[in-house]
Amino acid sequence: MNRFIGDRQFYRRVLLITVPIMIQTGITNLVNFLDNIMVGRVGTEQMSGVAIVNQLIFIFYLCLFGGFAGAGIFTAQFYGKGDNEGIRYTIRYKLILGAVILAVTTAILVLKSDTLIGMFLQGESGSGDAVATFNYAKDYLSVMMWELPAFALTQICFNTLRECSETVVPMKAGLVAVFLNLCLNYLLIYGNFGFPVLGVRGAAIATVIARYVELLIAVIWALTHLDRCPYLIGLFGSFKLPAELFKKIFLTGTPLLINEFLWSSGVAVMAQSYSLRGLSVVAAYNILGVINNVFNVVFFAMGDAVAIIVGQHLGAGNLKKAREEDTKIIAFSVMIATVVAIIVWSAAPLFPKLYNTNDEVKRLATEFLKMQALFLPQMAFLHTTYFTLRSGGKTLITFLFDSFFMWTVNVPLVYCLSRFTDIYVIHIFMFIQMAEWIKCLIGFILVKKGTWMNNIVSSERS
């Protein structure tokens, strides 16, 4: 049991890293949940329109996460090595990559938004509900486009701070932003205290303002605490980035970027396949996603703990310690996810009642939530396993483990079941989760073999 259970000092270190991340992410997701309820109380079509746009923007978010994660592997290991110049190089790489991803995303959303939104409305093509949902989605997207640059810069700031063990600042900035977002939602969605009634457009405006405030707080803190962020000194003195290091980050990070793009695209395709069963499924699946995000923060934070703690051990050359603590973090994550699963199952009938929607949507949402609860421990294991494989730079393996599996197993399965059978949508959802048992076995074997234990910053930069 000592392999799976750590001592007090171990859990103290894990919690010092994960609790601020849990608080920030948890409150962010809780406010997003309240935001979703506020829009949902306006109407089902409004909620569905916002959900469709968020599904599309989710791809942008995960492309950033994947791209920055490649550089982040180096940031964590450079920090473990005490190399500030190396950290500066990784920040410059993130800025360049973020600009490229932002430009491509903006072009796609401007030119192809009608087609992309329409894909989620094929189940009720031509109906009045579908037309209204389409118009709400377009209205919401037109404002949310302004949020994308701020999100990219915020992630560069937050990721770098976390990789250098500064997890409290992102938490505080996130807290301010989410409460500001909540207050602005109350004012702008419903038109309280003399503000105009803006509906979904108001929800988007609130999100954009909050995101820029969040970015401003993080930047001001970092620039006024250079003693704790010495890597910022001289950051913009030049955009020097050694060719060999650029190549190493690019080769390490590109599989992660492609992986996140393919994985998030796969999630969107799966959501679109579920949507073929009608707008009630779109709305119910949206409720599932928002509530899941509130409860999933624990093992998502554990994934960050793997990236930070294990990455720093690998950078310092302590491979034995990296393996030992990785095993304990995975076990801790699965244990907590089991507790969360019991809570989600018990409370599943209550959450949909918060929405102003029809009984069919509420029933479907409850069934989605109960089914998801059964598989939460599995998700915790897969998430920490993924970050374990990634921590040592074995990103090609993570690509095969994650998005390759998504597109060769999950996507074809949901595509066929939704289009060529009459199977109940909740059972389709269950079969997709069960298919990931194969992935669990593969992940267990890969982690046990230890091929991920790799120091990628031991050699001199050139």
Distances (CA, A) of 223 to 157, 167, 217: 11, 16, 10
Residue 460 lies in a domain: no
pLDDT at 182 over 90: no
Q: How confident is the model at residue 393 (pLDDT cuts 50, 70, 90)?
A: low
Phi/psi of residue 459, nearest 5 degrees:
-80, 160
pLDDT for the residue numbered 149: 95
pLDDT tens for each residue of 423-449: 999 999 999 999 999 999 988 888 888
pLDDT for the residue numbered 24: 66
Q: Measure the CA–CA gap between 33 and 185, rounded to whole angstroms.
A: 12
Residue 186 lies in a domain: yes
pLDDT at 237 over 70: yes
pLDDT at 454 over 80: no
pLDDT at 126 over 60: no
pLDDT for the residue numbered 131: 85
Q: Measure the CA–CA gap between 131 and 143, rounded to whole angstroms.
A: 19
Residue 457 lies in a domain: no
pLDDT at 174 over 60: yes
pLDDT at 147 over 90: yes
pLDDT at 125 over 70: no
Average pLDDT over the chain, rounded to an integer: 84
pLDDT tens for each residue of 50-80: 888 888 888 898 889 888 888 888 888 888 7
pLDDT for the residue numbered 455: 62
Q: What share of the chain in percent tops pLDDT 90?
A: 27
pLDDT for the residue numbered 458: 57
Q: How confident is the model at residue 341 (pLDDT cuts 50, 70, 90)?
A: very high
Mean pLDDT on 370-398: 84
pLDDT for the residue numbered 272: 87
Residue 303 lies in a domain: yes
Quote the tokens at residue 168.
Answer: 């409290």
pLDDT for the residue numbered 462: 41
pLDDT for the residue numbered 54: 85
Residue 454 lies in a domain: no
* Residues counted in the chain: 462
SS3 track for the chain? CCCCCCCHHHHHHHHHHHHHHHHHHHHHHHHHHHHHHHHHCCCHHHHHHHHHHHHHHHHHHHHHHHHHHHHHHHHHHHHHHCCHHHHHHHHHHHHHHHHHHHHHHHHHHHHHHHHHHHHHHHHHCCCHHHHHHHHHHHHHHHHHCCHHHHHHHHHHHHHHHHHCCCCHHHHHHHHHHHHHHHHHHHHHCCCHHHCCCCHHHHHHHHHHHHHHHHHHHHHHHHHCCCCCCHHHCCCCCCCCCCHHHHHHHHHHHHHHHHHHHHHHHHHHHHHHHHHCCCHHHHHHHHHHHHHHHHHCHHHHHHHHHHHHHHHHHHHCCCHHHHHHHHHHHHHHHHHHHHHHHHHHHHHCCCHHHHCCCCHHHHHHHHHHHHHHHHCHHHHHHHHHHHHHHHHCCCHHHHHHHHHHHHHHHHHHHHHHHHHHCCCCHHHHHHHHHHHCHHHHHHHHHHHHHCCCCCCCCCCCCC
Mean pLDDT on 411-428: 93
pLDDT at 242 over 90: no
Q: Measure the CA–CA gap between 252 and 67, rounded to whole angstroms.
A: 10
pLDDT at 230 over 90: no
Residue 3 lies in a domain: no
Q: How confident is the model at residue 280 (pLDDT cuts 50, 70, 90)?
A: confident
Range picked from 107-111, 170-174, 244-248 for highest mean pLDDT: 107-111
pLDDT tens for each residue of 282-333: 888 888 888 887 777 777 788 777 777 777 777 667 777 777 778 888 888 8
Q: Measure the CA–CA gap between 1 and 13, rounded to whole angstroms.
A: 20
What contacts 51, CB < 8 A, 6 or more positions away? 282, 283, 285, 286, 289
pLDDT for the residue numbered 128: 47
Q: How confident is the model at residue 32 (pLDDT cuts 50, 70, 90)?
A: low
169 vs 80, which has greater pLDDT? 169
Q: Whole-model pTM?
A: 0.73
pLDDT for the residue numbered 31: 63
Q: How many domains does the chain have?
A: 1
Mean pLDDT on 376-405: 81
Residue 293 lies in a domain: yes
Mean pLDDT on 9-28: 75
Parent domain of 281: 8-449
Residue 357 lies in a domain: yes
Contact between 417 and 425 (Cβ < 8 Å): no
Q: How confident is the model at residue 28 (pLDDT cuts 50, 70, 90)?
A: low
What contacts 105, CB < 8 A, 6 or more positions away? 59, 60, 63, 148
Contact between 206 and 185 (Cβ < 8 Å): yes
Mean pLDDT on 188-217: 91
In 330-364, which positions are buried (b, 16+ CB within 10 angstroms) versus exposed (e)?
bbbbbebbeebbeebbeebeebbebbebeeebbeb
